[in-house]
């Protein structure tokens, strides 16, 4: 039940504050007078027309009940609107959802996860207070002209990065955490994800990263991952579908098993992530209609042009852009933007640079680059294919992520980050 209620509560709090919130589930117990208690009896409906049919929980009716109860509470708590310069907005830090005398869920709220955990631990339900800034003069300063300082766009947002333990995923997790986000590092390599989360938290001096196990090719695993995130943070603002694999091979030689493996992780995996991310983000949207959220697929330059003897990879990535365009059309109804980023080769990442199984040593051994005698020769051959003469790096991808999150007027796009290697037609 928390998997449904927590995102609804998170949306409610985001809607009230206009900023991201952390919502964590607590255990039912005595609450003081500051808690906002809401009865969700009206959300229970009879399913089906026949008599004797079972009951179902209607999410939209629940969202309506929550929004109405919050508006009434806010009206009671607000100081006189006449004195706006002194106006301090109070928001509840504990919301209890009941059905009659039964407690359905208790949720603790704050701006960041450490503060929310502290509240839950000490049962501190004092209000979250915010001074309301004077209304901005949008006539003379349109909001877009002040849109700058891109790293600030993810501050206090919650993100999940699949395949976050190494390579581009690691770079993205590091970048988001350094810019003030809370990052769930989701990876099939749980140990790697845990080690990275530990490193990030030590460097940031706060809980900036949490490891969560997940295999993007399995629906049960991805569903459990989003449930764990809802339980610990209430939801997400940004879902980065990055997990990917590469098994190259000639169309005449590649085993079907190898083709399927690549397709399953890169193509089906993106569908599964978007499916469960979409469900969660839709729930938040029911109580936060204006809040925009993002699903971003880390695609590849091989999603924009073919890749020799690498059809499974390029085909899955081309298909990924088709999924992005299609998901974008459907999910914009819930203010979810869906975009792909198409990076060029990350020559310094493990896929290319691993000294034992990286692509450079593989290509050297296979004699793929004529005349190359060393790994450095192979690397320089590939670097010279890029007009900007270097590979794609973490910060290049981060700039694209900040752009997509900040840009409120675009969806369904594939953003190249290739140093000029692939140009759009
Ligand atoms: N490395 C490049 O040159 C390059 C270039 C363009 C695009 N990309 C794309 O960037 C993404 C990341 O690639 P990378 O090179 O950093 O890869 P990588 O191999 O360095 O890391 C991939 C991560 O994904 C995880 N992973 C693999 N299968 C998984 C699964 N089923 N479920 C969950 N996690 C799984 C791995 O454990 C690993 O941590 C991929 O989508 C890839 O296609 C990479």
pLDDT tens-digit series, residues 146-178: 545 666 899 999 999 999 999 999 999 999 999
Same domain, 122 and 225: no
Higher pLDDT, 294 or 53: 294
Residue-wise over 336-346: b if at least 16 C-beta within 10 A, else e?
bbbbbbbbbbb
Same domain, 117 and 155: no
Residue 227 within any structural domain of the chain: yes
Task: Write down the pLDDT at residue 88.
Answer: 80
Out of 36-50, 174-188, 203-217, 263-277, least confident range: 36-50
410 CA → ligand 1 middle, Å: 26
Q: What is the mean pLDDT of residues 325-343?
A: 98
Task: Write down the pLDDT at residue 138.
Answer: 55
Listed residues 75, 104, 131: the one ending a domain:
131
Same domain, 106 and 177: no
Residue 145 within any structural domain of the chain: no
What number does the ligand 1 atom closest to the CA of 302 have? 6
Report the percentage of the chain scoring pLDDT > 90. 84
Task: Write down the pLDDT at residue 89.
Answer: 85
Does the structure show a pLDDT above 80 at 137?
no
Task: Write down the pLDDT at residue 76.
Answer: 83
Which of 240, 243, 260 most suits a substitution to test ligand 1, by most atoms within 8 Å of the C-beta?
A: 243
Q: What is the CATH number of the domain that holds 251?
A: 3.40.50.720
138 CA → ligand 1 middle, Å: 43
Q: What does residue 211 show for φ and ψ, rounded to 5 degrees?
A: -80, 145
Number of domains, the chain = 2
Which of 168, 356, 363, 382 most suits a substitution to test ligand 1, by most atoms within 8 Å of the C-beta?
A: 168
Does the structure show a pLDDT above 60 at 144?
no
Does the structure show a pLDDT above 60 at 229?
yes
Same domain, 339 and 237: yes
Q: For the segment 54-99, what is each residue's pLDDT rounded down to a tens digit?
A: 899 999 999 999 999 999 998 888 665 555 555 788 899 999 999 9
Residue 349 within any structural domain of the chain: no
DSSP state of 79: P
Task: Write down the pLDDT at residue 149.
Answer: 62
Does the structure show a pLDDT above 80 at 133?
no
Give whole-number Cα distances, 340 to 152, 215, 301, 321, 324, in Å. Answer: 21, 20, 11, 7, 7
Listed residues 67, 99, 131: the one ending a domain:
131
What number does the ligand 1 atom closest to the CA of 269 have? 31
Same domain, 175 and 68: no
What number does the ligand 1 atom closest to the CA of 171 have? 16
- Domain interval for residue 405: 150-344+392-417
101 CA → ligand 1 middle, Å: 49
Task: Write down the pLDDT at residue 83.
Answer: 54
Residue 62 within any structural domain of the chain: yes
Return d(Cα 415, Cα 373) in angstroms, integer.
35
Q: Kindly list the protein residues whose Cβ atom lies closer than 6 A to any atom of ligand 1.
A: 162-163, 165-169, 187-189, 192, 214-217, 242-245, 265, 269, 298, 300, 343, 345-346, 349-352
Same domain, 123 and 177: no
Higher pLDDT, 315 or 89: 315
Of all protein residues, the one whose alpha carbon is nearest to atom 24 of ligand 1 is 163
Task: Write down the pLDDT at residue 41.
Answer: 96
Return d(Cα 153, Cα 63) in angstroms, integer.
27
Q: What is the mean pLDDT of residues 107-125?
A: 96
Task: Write down the pLDDT at residue 232.
Answer: 97
Task: Write down the pLDDT at residue 214.
Answer: 97
Residue 369 within any structural domain of the chain: no
Residue 367 within any structural domain of the chain: no
Task: Write down the pLDDT at residue 52.
Answer: 66
Lookup: tokens for 269 = 């995996």
Q: Are 276 and 222 in contact (CB under 8 A)?
A: yes
Same domain, 318 and 176: yes
- Strand 128-131 versus strand 158-162 pairing type: unpaired
Task: Provide the mean pLDDT of the chain.
Answer: 93
168 CA → ligand 1 middle, Å: 7
Give whole-number Cα distances, 344 to 93, 168, 301, in Å. Answer: 44, 11, 5
Task: Write down the pLDDT at residue 368.
Answer: 86
- At 28, the pLDDT band (50, 70, 90 cuts) reads confident
Residue 160 within any structural domain of the chain: yes
Is 313 considered catalytic here? yes
Of all protein residues, the one whose alpha carbon is nearest to atom 37 of ligand 1 is 189
Q: For the segment 248-260, what is each residue's pLDDT rounded down to a tens digit?
A: 899 999 999 999 9
Residue 103: beta bridge partners?
Answer: 98
Q: What is the mean pLDDT of residues 30-48?
A: 88
Same domain, 8 and 118: yes
Residue 295: beta bridge partners?
Answer: 239, 338
159 CA → ligand 1 middle, Å: 17
Of all protein residues, the one whose alpha carbon is nearest to atom 18 of ligand 1 is 167
Which of 313, 334, 363, 382 is flagged as catalytic? Answer: 313
- By C-alpha distance, which of 159, 219, 211 is closest to 189? 211
Q: What is the mean pLDDT of residues 209-229?
A: 98
Residue 305 within any structural domain of the chain: yes
Q: What is the mean pLDDT of residues 228-243?
A: 98
Same domain, 115 and 242: no
Return d(Cα 116, Cα 266) in angstroms, integer.
35
242 CA → ligand 1 middle, Å: 6
Does the structure show a pLDDT above 90 at 31?
no
Listed residues 131, 164, 188: the one ending a domain:
131
Does the structure show a pLDDT above 80 at 48?
no
Q: What does residue 98 show for φ and ψ, rounded to 5 degrees?
A: -120, 160
Task: Write down the pLDDT at residue 130.
Answer: 83
Same domain, 82 and 224: no
- At 222, the pLDDT band (50, 70, 90 cuts) reads very high
Helix axes 2-17, 269-287, angle to 10 degrees: 60
Same domain, 124 and 157: no
Same domain, 126 and 208: no
Out of 137-146, 265-274, 367-376, 393-402, least confident range: 137-146
């Amino acid at each position: 039940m928390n998997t449904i209620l927590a995102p609804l509560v998170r949306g409610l709090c985001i809607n009230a504050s206009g900023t991201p919130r952390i919502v964590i589930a607590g255990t039912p117990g005595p609450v003081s007078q500051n808690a906002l208690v809401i009865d969700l009896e009206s959300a229970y409906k009879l399913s089906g027309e026949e008599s004797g049919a079972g009951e179902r929980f209607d999410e939209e009716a629940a969202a309506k009940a929550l929004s109405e109860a919050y508006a009434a509470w806010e009206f009671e708590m607000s100081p006189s609107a006449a004195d706006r310069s002194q106006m301090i907005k109070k928001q509840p830090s504990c919301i209890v959802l009941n059905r009659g005398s039964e407690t359905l869920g208790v949720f603790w709220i704050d701006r960041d996860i450490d503060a929310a955990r502290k509240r839950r631990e000490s049962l501190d339900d004092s209000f979250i207070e915010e001074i309301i800034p004077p209304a901005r003069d949008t006539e003379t300063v349109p909001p877009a002209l002040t849109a700058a300082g891109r790293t600030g766009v993810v501050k206090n947002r919650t993100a999940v990065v699949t395949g976050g333990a190494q390579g581009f995923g690691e770079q993205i997790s590091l970048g988001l955490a350094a810019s003030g986000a809370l990052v769930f590092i989701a990876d099939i390599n749980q140990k790697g994800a845990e080690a990275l989360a530990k490193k990030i938290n030590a460097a940031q001096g706060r809980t900036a990263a949490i490891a969560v196990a997940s295999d993007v090719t399995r629906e049960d695993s991805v569903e459990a991952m989003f449930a764990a995130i809802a339980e610990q943070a209430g939801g997400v603002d940004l879902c980065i579908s990055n997990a990917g694999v590469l098994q190259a091979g000639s169309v005449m030689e590649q085993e079907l098993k190898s083709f399927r493996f690549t397709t399953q992780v890169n193509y089906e995996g993106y569908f599964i992530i978007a499916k469960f991310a979409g469900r969660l983000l839709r729930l938040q949207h029911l109580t936060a209609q204006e809040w925009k959220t993002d699903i971003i697929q880390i695609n590849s330059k091989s999603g924009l042009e073919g890749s020799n003897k690498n059809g499974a990879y390029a085909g899955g990535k081309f298909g990924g852009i088709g999924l992005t365009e299609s998901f974008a059309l459907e999910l914009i109804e819930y203010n979810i933007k869906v975009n792909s980023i198409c990076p060029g080769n990350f020559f310094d990442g493990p896929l290319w640079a691993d000294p034992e199984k990286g692509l450079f040593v593989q290509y050297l051994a296979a004699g793929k680059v004529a005349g190359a005698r060393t790994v450095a020769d192979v690397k320089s051959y590939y670097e010279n294919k890029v007009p900007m003469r270097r590979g794609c790096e973490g910060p290049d991808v981060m700039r694209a992520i900040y752009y997509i999150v900040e840009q409120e007027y675009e969806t369904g796009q594939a953003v190249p980050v290739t140093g000029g290697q692939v140009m759009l037609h």
